[in-house]
Chain A
Amino acid sequence: MSQPETSKNNLTVTKKRISDPRSVQILLISLTYLFFIGFIFLPLGLVFSQAFSKGWSFYLESIREPYAIEAVKLTMLTLAIVVPVNAVFGVSAAWAITKFNFKGKTTLKSLLDLPFAVSPVIAGLIFVLLLGSRTAFGSWLGEHGIKIIFSTPGIVIATIFVTFPFIARELIPLMEAQGRDEEEAALTLGAKGWQIFGKITLPNIRWGLLYGMILCGARSIGEFGAVSVVSGHIRGQTNTIPLHVEILYSEYNFTASFAVASLLVFLALLTVVIKSVMEKQFQKNSFHL
């Protein structure tokens, strides 16, 4: 092949290379669709068809059954504690990491990813080993009538651990990009710390914060591994929705299992909708950056 002589020729050649192989486009697009069908639409459809296979009344019965209702309540309780706790933690961690200089900052920043890297089962085991009745601390707690493992506090703690990076990771790049100028300006104008936080910092990060909270909430509703280890699977007491689904399934009660699972699917879909609405808001607001 001879070299194209003029730059104009060159341009056409490059353009062709980028856009031409229609076959590749078709292949990639169909692969994407196939993947979506095989791994998302089909399983989702299956969940619903199984859930409704014995009709509406059975479906309603399955999700209105007392154990199911207890599981939903526990999941919501966990959600209601975990998200605010992690919001406070996430904001303070992001604040500390982006606005102050201190020793060990880089290490902390990388350790923030640990809960994502560690298998949730191991996370659960860590808390059993740390707070279970076999340890000194655990038995001391037991003597004082405080039960953590195999009870609600254990579930909450394990969920907090698994979901704590979400909010901080969302905020750190945002706060880094915004810098400290506005806070410094507020400071020279006589604002106190809490005024600066409430009037300047929080409004500046609110969309990022909400977005992180959504992700954190979605994950805490669905968390199985870590919760499974610390919960002890006591029906009506320490079963969250995912654990309840698993128990029904292992009892060959497939239809009921899928019915409850469909609740999780609804929550997940709701999360996706809220998330995409927020993403739009977030982008709309990011021109203020």
Chain B
Amino acid sequence: MGIELQNITKTFGDYKAIDNLNLNIASGDLIALLGPSGCGKTTLLRIIAGLELADSGKIILENKDTTNLPPRKKNVGFVFQHYALFRRLNVFENVAFGLKVLPFRERPSRSEIRDRVEHLLKLVQMDWALKRYPSQLSGGQRQRVALARALAVNPRVLLLDEPFSALDAKVRQELRRWLRKLHDEIHVTSIFVTHDQEEALELADKIVVINKGRIEQQGTPQEVYDHPANAFVYNFLGNVNVFHGRIHNGKVSLGAHQVDAPDDLKGIEAKPSQTFVRPHEIGISRIRSSANDLSGTIREVRLQGGQIGLNIECEGLDDPIEAEVQRELFINLELAKGVDVFVSINRVKVFAGDYEI
């Protein structure tokens, strides 16, 4: 096992940041801790690094119990949201820091340090900037240097705290892909914290969804996205239309309309329910194709890259629904603001009970 967390609990005053959390991560995996801000994901990362002390629980990194080791002996690489590069040291000195502070006996020779630093900077494509100072680098470049610095000490595990959130969208995407590639080369067990579901889905081998200090679900991006364990996870992973209604004798009400309840909920006689539909699973046509179609009017059209977002007011529904259609379809159907359409809801996910988010 790369990382084993057993019964971790952490409170700040009355506030439970981490609530008896257990997590096992396989060696060499890249894991995303995904959750809304304030869910405890950063706290958990800081606990693993030893920057915060857990109230109770056990932390085992690469089969070594590090629970009671001081942070400097845990041997974790930590990458901070705001880079935290040493502003008075140049890029070379920043990366060399972890090697230069080693006790004399363990410290590599000068030329070994130089080789290692240069190798790492080449790995993060920053070898041209040896003599630069952090203030002379862009955000993306700083984060690469920070990553090289964290890797310099051969960490047992690599922890990244919202590493891309301070960068602009384009750089963020670039760096994301680059990090995935880098991880495939070096294979160090890594956890990164993010509140961005896209980032988690694209980058991680496994996603751990956290809410209120507890794990809601863990699995591969595919599993988590396609089979969300509960309403929270469904809602958190991507845009979604939510319909509050009731399950009644095998039928789920969506406003004035009804759809069949999923098999596992058929037995329920009467219960409040929440029905989720992703915007891209809503079909749009100009002619009624089945009796179940809802009729509506397009109220808003938004350009979203290759797709078009539609805001549609439907008869019998209190709130307008959000739909996404391919650009081609949008043009072929001659859709526009104010056009009347028929809406078919293709795939719904129903959760019984009111789930507070």
Contacts and interface: CB of A to CB of B under 8 A. Distances in A.
A15 interface: no
Contacts of B49: 188
Contacts of A239: none
Interface in B80-116: 80, 82, 84-89, 97-98, 101-102
Interface residues of B, number: 31
B101 A204 contact: no
B97 A199 contact: yes
B296 interface: no
Contact of B75 (A184, A190, A191, A204): A190
Contacts of B76: 188
A204 B87 contact: yes
A182 B51 CA distance: 12
B250 interface: no
B222 to A, nearest CB: 33
Given A190-B101, A190-B153, A181 B84 contact: yes
Nearest to B49: A188
Nearest to B76: A188
A200 interface: yes
Contacts of A185: 78, 80, 84-86, 146, 149
Bin chain A's interface residue count. 10 to 19
Contacts of B149: 185, 189
A188 B78 contact: yes
A288 B97 contact: no
Interface in A142-160: none
Contact of B51 (A184, A190, A199): A184
A188 to B, nearest CB: 4
A39 interface: no
Interface in A167-207: 181-182, 184-192, 195, 199-200, 203-204
B135 A288 contact: yes
Nearest to B83: A181
Contacts of B77: 188
Contact of A200 (B73, B86, B133): B86
Contacts of A187: 51, 71-72
Nearest to B73: A190
A191 B72 contact: yes
Contacts of A195: 101
Contacts of B85: 182, 185
Interface in B7-28: none
B1 to A, nearest CB: 21
A192 B72 contact: yes
Contacts of B97: 186, 189, 191, 199
Nearest to B72: A190
B135 A181 contact: no
A270 to B, nearest CB: 28
A200 B71 CA distance: 17
Nearest to A184: B51
A287 interface: yes
Interface string A214-258: 000000000000000000000000000000000000000000000
A99 B194 CA distance: 26
A288 B86 CA distance: 10
Contacts of B153: 189-190
Contact of B135 (A184, A190, A191, A287): A287
A199 B96 CA distance: 12
Given A181-B80, A184-B51, A287-B135, A191 B101 contact: yes
Interface string A277-289: 0000000000111
Contact of B101 (A181, A182, A189, A288): A189
Given A188-B72, A190-B98, A204 B88 contact: yes
Which 4 pairs, one residue from A and one from B, show the smallest C-beta to C-beta distance? A181-B84, A189-B98, A288-B87, A188-B78
13 contacts: A182-B84, A182-B87, A184-B51, A185-B86, A187-B51, A189-B98, A189-B101, A189-B150, A190-B75, A191-B72, A203-B88, A288-B87, A288-B88
